[in-house]
């Protein structure tokens, strides 16, 4: 793209900046309201989804049910952002109920048009006896889709088929999860009797719950900001291999559905990129972990002579700040990520999507004549970073040194993150040759954080057990014996939250 007189103060990166990032499939949120106006539950869910928008910008949906809600109550979902899809007028037709769950979705490769709409969640299904239930899922179930639009829709259908005779929803869910051992899921399942929250035995993706006093509701969501911004103060992380049961007017119950659940093997990319910077994982601040990763990068660069440390917005900011603190190189910003809200002016869907995409713009006066350390959270294909480095230099940067707060991505993900095929990953293409990658990116130097340093930045509890398959092809490990929770026995455990 050439600099034109219409934009004298900025240089726009021509490619869609977000296309270079790894993408997550979704985020989930749920409500169990104990008293008050049950008309509000759907709006509470939508409010939580606003705080999860970054996990799934391409589609959103909400479902509501309760003791007096009609069985044919619809789900409302559509392609688009939360603020555009879950408007008050769109949600008004959902009726009222004590329970609600919602979902935000990222559109993975190939899921366009009709397929994308069919894959929107929550999914509604019915048992053979006509028992309706709804499912929202973050992660990835193993196994063939067999013609279904998504892994979640097939899971919902298989659960429904198991609900025969006296087989309960909880029993059917656990039995289907056993069949899909090795899958990744933070799962919400709702029927007229309550909400179930389920986290896989590895604990690959986060799921939190807590009580909001001013809403008199228990809330559950993929990330902590969705809860804290609605008045939850004492929130908890659902342990791996556990099910949380929320029912109106009752204390929450939490029990394992596998023998001897393990500590979380959290996905490393959740910490590096996906979770909002103001969020937490296992009681540790995301911002602090990212800043510590930058410090480890900076420790090896204390002799580097440069004029400014700059992040690519937004998730690299903390790492860049940590790097600047250790090296003493000033932290500055020269890139602005903008989103156009005027996509309605475009005549085709392709044009609307193009205009609505995030774009990165450069402030030339911050770049000209300077030696820049550019900090990025990760590199997938490298195509956008190539474009960015070229343009920084075209606009007068004397040097561009790339520092990456993640190790080289060399493998795909089977657990819910839409990373490109291995042959598209630049680190795989170059067989891990850092010098070859540097030349491809047109950088003056290139350094990735070491995997061991990344783990140290997470702290011993998370770092020692984090899933790093996309960096070293090592899968999460664990043999689990499945069991049915919520049987009438002394093993029943109350969740440590007020009602």
Phi, psi of 424 (to 5 degrees): -90, -15
Q: What is the pLDDT at residue 236?
A: 95
Q: What is the pLDDT at residue 114?
A: 59
Classify strands 284-285 and 99-105 as parallel, antiparallel or unpaired. Answer: unpaired
Q: Is 98 helix (H, G, I), strand (E, B) or coil?
A: coil
Q: What is the pLDDT at residue 479?
A: 85
Phi, psi of 63 (to 5 degrees): -130, 150
Tell me, yes or no, if 26 is annotated catalytic.
Answer: yes
Q: What is the DSSP letter of 490?
A: T
Give the separation between CA 479 and CA 279, rounded to whole angstroms: 30
For 255-289, how does the pLDDT look when each residue is reduced to its tens digit (9 = 90+)? 999 998 888 899 999 999 999 999 999 889 999 99
- Which residues make Cβ contacts (< 8 Å) with residue 491, sequence separation at least 6? 255
Give the separation between CA 271 and CA 273, rounded to whole angstroms: 6
DSSP string across 162-182 = H--TT--HHHHHHHHHHHTTT
Is residue 64 within 8 Å of residue 97, measured between CB atoms? yes
Distances, alpha carbon 375 to alpha carbons 266, 269, 273, 400, in Å:
24, 16, 13, 10
> Measured at the alpha carbon of residue 493, what is the angle toward residues 263 and 195, in degrees to the nearest 5?
85
- Across the strands, what pairs with 62? 76, 102
The whole-model pTM stands at 0.88
Q: What is the pLDDT at residue 344?
A: 39
Length of the chain: 499
Distances, alpha carbon 58 to alpha carbons 11, 27, 148, 345, in Å:
27, 12, 20, 19
Give the separation between CA 397 and CA 369, rounded to whole angstroms: 5
- Catalytic residue, from 26, 32, 413, 470: name it: 26
Reading the block at residue 179, the tokens are: 């069949």
> First and final CA of the chain: distance in angstroms?
58
In a structure prediction context, what are the per-residue pLDDT tens digits for the chain, which is 499 residues long? 222 223 333 334 444 444 455 555 699 999 999 999 999 999 999 999 999 999 999 999 999 999 988 888 889 999 999 999 999 999 999 989 999 999 999 865 445 455 678 889 999 999 988 899 999 999 999 888 888 888 999 999 999 999 998 899 999 999 999 999 989 999 999 999 999 999 999 999 999 999 999 999 999 999 999 999 999 999 999 999 999 999 999 999 999 999 988 888 999 999 999 999 999 998 899 999 999 999 999 999 988 999 999 999 888 999 999 999 999 999 999 988 876 443 334 444 454 444 444 467 899 999 999 999 999 999 988 988 999 999 999 999 999 999 999 999 999 988 877 775 888 899 999 999 999 999 999 999 999 999 999 999 999 989 999 999 999 999 998 889 999 999 764 333 444 333 2
- Across the strands, what pairs with 24? 417
């Amino acid at each position: 793209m050439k600099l034109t007189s219409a934009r004298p103060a900025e240089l726009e990166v021509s490619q869609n900046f977000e296309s270079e990032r790894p993408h997550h499939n979704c985020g989930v949120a749920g409500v169990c309201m104990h008293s008050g106006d049950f008309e509000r539950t759907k709006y509470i869910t939508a409010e939580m989804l606003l705080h999860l928008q970054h996990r799934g910008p391409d589609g959103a949906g909400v479902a509501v049910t309760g003791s007096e809600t009609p069985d044919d109550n619809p789900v409302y979902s559509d392609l688009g952002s939360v603020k555009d899809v879950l408007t008050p007028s769109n949600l008004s037709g959902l009726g009222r109920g004590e329970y609600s769950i919602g979902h935000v979705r990222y559109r993975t490769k190939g899921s366009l048009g009709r397929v994308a709409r069919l894959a929107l969640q929550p999914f509604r299904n019915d048992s053979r006896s006509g028992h309706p239930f709804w499912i929202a899922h973050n992660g990835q179930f193993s196994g063939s889709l067999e013609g279904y639009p998504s892994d979640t829709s097939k899971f919902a259908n298989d659960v429904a088929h198991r609900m025969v005779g006296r087989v309960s929803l909880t029993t059917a869910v656990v039995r289907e999860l056993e069949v899909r051992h090795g899958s990744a899921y933070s799962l919400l399942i709702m029927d007229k009797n309550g909400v179930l929250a389920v986290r896989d035995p590895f604990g690959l993706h986060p799921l939190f719950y807590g009580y909001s006093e001013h809403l008199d509701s228990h809330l559950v969501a993929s990330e902590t900001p969705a809860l804290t911004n609605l008045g939850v103060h004492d929130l908890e992380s659902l342990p791996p291999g556990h099910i949380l049961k929320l029912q109106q007017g009752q204390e929450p119950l939490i029990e394992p559905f596998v023998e001897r659940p393990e500590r979380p093997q959290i996905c490393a990319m959740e910490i590096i990129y996906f979770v909002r910077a103001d969020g937490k994982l296992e009681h540790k601040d995301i911002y602090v972990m990212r800043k510590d990763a930058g410090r480890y990068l900076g420790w090896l660069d204390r002799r580097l002579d440069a004029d400014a440390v700059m992040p690519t917005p937004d998730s690299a900011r903390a790492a860049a700040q940590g790097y600047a603190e250790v090296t003493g190189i000033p932290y500055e910003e020269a890139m602005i990520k903008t989103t156009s809200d005027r996509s309605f002016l475009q005549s085709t869907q392709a044009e609307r999507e193009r205009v609505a995409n995030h774009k990165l713009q450069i402030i030339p006066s911050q770049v000209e004549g300077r030696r820049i350390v550019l900090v990025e959270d990760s590199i997938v294909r490298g195509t956008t970073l190539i474009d960015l480095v070229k343009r920084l230099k075209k606009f007068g940067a004397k040097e561009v040194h790339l520092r990456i707060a993640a190790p080289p991505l060399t493998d795909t993900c089977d657990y819910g993150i839409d990373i490109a095929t291995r042959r598209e990953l630049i680190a795989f293409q170059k067989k891990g040759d850092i010098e070859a990658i540097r030349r491809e990116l047109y950088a003056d130097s290139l350094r990735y954080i070491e995997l061991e340093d990344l783990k140290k930045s997470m702290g011993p509890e998370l770092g020692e057990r984090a899933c790093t398959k996309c960096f070293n092809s090592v899968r999460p490990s664990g043999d689990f014996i499945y069991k049915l929770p919520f049987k009438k026995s002394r093993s029943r455990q109350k969740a440590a939250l007020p009602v």
